[in-house]
Structure 1
Amino acid sequence: MIDDVLKNQNVIWAFTGSASFVIQGMQMPVHDIDIQTDKDGAYKIEKLFSEYIVAPVQFCGTESIRSHFGKLMISNEKVELMGDIQKRLPSGEWENPISLKELIKYIDFEGHSIPVLSLEYEYHAYKILGRYDKADQLLAFIKNSSYKSQ
């Protein structure tokens, strides 16, 4: 449903996190759906799915990550929107928001062409966030499977 609504909109977006990993062939549970976009995309997606808002998009964060963040509940699935994500670098500075266009790849999944972030990018992002277990899982999958990067 999400991709059906967004495919005809002028929004740069991609699935990220566990939903993206499963779409790309990894085996793991999916507890929510994460969508990464830019700042404008976060607010546009929120507007397009306004009847599903649980937490409105607003700029917020933690010690290690910040974004224009909001939550939706669509068909009993938690959906998190993240626009212009910035991660805190080891130097303590915040990285600039990334340009998603170069990181998105399209995967044929259940008859749909689904935008996802490359697993290589995800691997590096999890390392910056200090989530080494997840980064190690991603690296092992990249090295030991038929996964093809962009």
Structure 2
Amino acid sequence: MLKAVYDLPEQHASVLTLLAARIDPADYLWALTGSAGLRLQGVDLSVHDLDLQTDAKTIYLLEKKLAEFMKVSVHVWESEHTLSYHGQAEIDGLQVELLGDVRHRGVDGVWQPPLDIPSVLVWVEWRGLQIPVLSLAHEALAYEKMGRKQKAELIRSAIRKGTL
């Protein structure tokens, strides 16, 4: 298990603590992804919201567990590069994105299979909690597939610097 490299802003920390208590990652398959997951693993960047990635079944369980906070019900969402289930909650003024069965469009235009989350899951010890995140190597590839080359390079730079 890795130790968190950077902490989160207090509002984010408070909401993540609530999420970990309400949706125990030992019981539900989810991973903190996006800027917060990257920051805990040593990528020095600003955190604006919290993103939880899961599978198609678990996203609906998360939605139920967070029912009083849900602003956007879980639905299918598609962009040029990404297809997933998506829902949005707001907890103490902080946006929490729920993503399920995330797929990326291949160069041939065909949607790739959803991510096998356990295969890229990393556990980070943060403030006495065990937080599941997606590996930096996976995150770099995912950002590249979404066309976000600068973010992918920032992640690869953190990997090269050995902040882990």
TM-score under structure 1 normalisation?
0.94
Q: Give the CA deviation at 1:65.
A: 0.5
| SS of residue in 2 equivalent to 1:25 | coil
Percentage of matched positions with identical amino acids: 33
Unpaired runs of 5+ residues, structure 2, are: 1-17
Query: In 2, Cα distance between the equivalents of 1:17 and 1:146?
Result: 17
Is residue 117 of structure 1 aligned with residue 134 of structure 2? Answer: yes
Query: In 1, Cα distance between the equivalents of 2:57 and 2:38?
Result: 25
Query: In 2, Cα distance between the equivalents of 1:41 and 1:9?
Result: 13
The AA in structure 2 aligned to 1:28 is L
The AA in structure 1 aligned to 2:48 is H
Residue in 1 aligned with 2:52?
Answer: 35
Structure 2 matches for 1:1-150, cutoff 5 A?
1-7=18-24, 10-147=27-164
Unpaired runs of 5+ residues, structure 1, are: none
Are 1:65 and 1:88, in contact at CA under 8 Å, matched by a contact in 2? yes
Deviations 1:25-49 (A, max 9, x none): 2221111100100011111000000
Alpha-carbon RMSD:
1.2
Deviations 1:25-81 (A, max 9, x none): 222111110010001111100000000001000112112101110000011110000
- Number of residues of Structure 1 aligned to a counterpart in Structure 2: 147
Query: In 1, Cα distance between the equivalents of 2:35 and 2:115?
Result: 20
Question: CA 1:9–1:52 in structure 2 vs 1: closer, same or farther (change >3 Å)?
Answer: farther
Which structure has the higher relative contact order (CA within 8 Å, separation 6+)? 2
Q: Give the CA deviation at 1:120.
A: 0.3
